[in-house]
Chain A
Amino acid sequence: MERLLLWPASPLLSALAVYCITQLLFFPARQSIHRLLLSVARSIGGGLRLTARWLQSTAAMARARNREVLLESGRAEMERKIEQQFQRLQQGFSKDLRHYPELHQKLNGLVTRMEEDFLTTRSVPPEAPGWPTAVKAVTDVPEVGERASRKILLEIKRAAVESEKLALREYRNSTTRRHNILAALAPSWKQANTHAENMYALVSHALGFVTRIDAHMERYEKLRQGDVASERLLASSALTSLIIALLAVGVACAGAFLNFHLIALPMSELVPSGTRIVGVPLASVAALVVVLMEATAGLFVMEALGVTEMFPQFARLGADKRRVILVVAGVSLFCLACIESSLAVLREQIVDADLLLKQKLAASDVPAAATSSIPVIGQALLGFILPWLLAVVALPLQLLIQSGRHVFGRSVVAGISLAALLSRVVAHAVLHLVNAVTAAFDVYIAIPLQLEKLVRRPKNPPVTVEPVRMEDDEPAPRLMELPPPLRQRAARRHGSMS
């Protein structure tokens, strides 16, 4: 600090000398320094504002693009769902309603039979005409004394009574027959009822698809119209899907890690274990490759099955070719699972051999632990099952890629917007800082300024310091925008000035 002083022995005098020298230097250069500061402020602040504008426009473009992609993917998803529902509807019609004609025929036959039976029951046998009256008339005839006449009358009475009994029996028999026919109709009614219920269930099931298709179509229409609510729903759904997919992929990665460690050690028996690739043992690289191959085979299986749609080429392939790929990928996966299972068994053997070697090197007489086949079986099973579980990772992976794109896009937009805001804030800060520096400079040379004011007041008014303004600072309100009293005052002032 002392080096800066002109006279280190008297710092006050040195400071005074420095002050005077700077006053002499700065006062004549005042306007130039003001212009310099203004120029610096405009270049930095303007550059930052331009950057902010560019960032804002980029963010707007990215936002629009994200929205477009989001809606397009939503539409594609909805189209896929509608197509799926149509396929199910078709399958439902071809599967469920296949038996409809047969059912209809059965129902028709039943109705015809019931109608015939019913008509049969309607044929009532003729009632015995006046037999009771005739019997009563014969009974009411006064008893005659003549034997022959009496006998005739008795015969007539007996014949009348018998005829009445016969007619009554026939009537009862006929009624019983009709009742029997009606009783035999009951199962047919039940059958008809069952058939009708089945038909109702089938038709309802088919109509359920139609209801779902209607709902999907409604959402699809909203998406086509760019409905804001639907867009928000899609964005929220993308975030939820991303979280779920991340969890699932994380679990799958843990499985892959376990899988890798299961086969890394035995792999050293198959590949040169001393060789390394970028510092990593070749056995570990080979194990990693096997795990990745399992995941890839699983991916192809899922694609061929139509569960995932990550490769557009698969969609263009015919059913036969897809089936071939499915078989090849499935067989590969099975082979890899078998290989991994055998490697898991080999791993156990290597571990046992290492343990045995250490015991022999130590020449210890510790009895070997009782060997159990459970760990070997467990590792073999694990080695066989893990590849199949790893194959399913294709599903959350697709979800992760699809939803990750939207979430990443939104994050990018948010980042760009934040950068634009920061740029504007820094521009304003620079602007006000330069204004403050300018004012501080004037304060520093206040004494010569005041002297100049006293000397030159009548001729040249002192230069007023205009605060630095940027192009897109808020402009002064126009005359028409001012409230009426202020407008009148401003108009008067304007008139007096002119």
Chain B
Amino acid sequence: MRAPALLACVLLACDDVSEHAQATCALVDTSGSYVSEVAPAMQILKLALLPQSTPGDTLVAAFIDADSYEKQNVVAVMTLDARPSQANAQKLAFANALDGFSRKVMTARHTDISGGVLLCADYLREARAARKTIVIFSDMQEELPPGTRRELTGLGGIDVVALNVKRLRTDNADPARYRERLAVWDSTITAAHGKGFQWVQDAQRLAALMGR
């Protein structure tokens, strides 16, 4: 009688993998103003994000172009295996996919950031993770193609981090524009029930923001 009770206690004490796993979606802008930053962004992903990921974590890499809310914008998706050796192999494959993308990246005419965020949100919703984050490498200047309508919704429980936000020429003329642009994104993410919006200059802080 005692043994089953003890076993039940142990099983109840067992946490699900998802309670400690993280899901991260990296969005990389390929518009003309940011395409030169794609390779450094990939390097940051490989050096700061991949090594910090642990078994059970989900990683998604997608890019922003004129129409970002498309499945073909996803570069790579993976959930790390429970075994560290397998996880290492997956990380290596993910890094190769990122390298392949950075080699054949094409400049986009428009910048559909919202579409990319929605795409990431869809993928993150499927992931069984306690913490969900969207990391955006962009100048955060959205330029939707004509006829495209975007409204951010359903970002519940998702953190949005803008990393390596590039300053535009107009920002140099008036830095308030840069800050105002980010403030608008902050309010947009908050309105979409996002957990929070942060913008980070130092890539080294990414690991700390991810809680690792």
Contact = CB atoms under 8 A, between A and B. Distances in A.
Interface stretch (A139-147, A272-280, A376-384): A272-280
Interface string A395-406: 000000000000
A364 to B, nearest CB: 10
Nearest to A357: B88
A278 B13 contact: yes
A225 B21 CA distance: 68
B51 A358 contact: yes
Contact of A276 (B10, B15, B82, B91): B15
A224 B189 CA distance: 83
Chain A interface extent, by class:
20 to 34
B172 to A, nearest CB: 32
Contacts of A272: 17, 82
Contacts of A69: none
Interface of B: 10, 13-17, 19-21, 46-47, 50-51, 54-56, 82-85, 88, 91-92, 95
A276 B14 contact: yes
Given A268-B55, A274-B55, A277-B15, A362 B46 contact: yes
Given A272-B82, A273-B83, A274-B21, A361 B50 contact: yes
A278 B10 CA distance: 9
B83 A269 contact: yes
Nearest to A358: B51
A276 B19 contact: yes
A323 interface: no
B130 to A, nearest CB: 11
Given A357-B91, A362-B46, A274 B84 contact: no
Interface in A340-373: 350, 353-354, 357-358, 360-362
Contact of B84 (A268, A277, A358, A360): A268
A269 B17 CA distance: 15
Among A265, A273, A277, max chain B CB count under 10 A is at A273
Contact of A269 (B13, B14, B20, B84): B84
B47 A274 contact: no
Contact of B82 (A273, A353, A357): A273
Contact of B15 (A265, A279, A360): A279
A199 B75 CA distance: 93
Nearest to B10: A277
Nearest to B11: A277
Contacts of A277: 10, 13-15
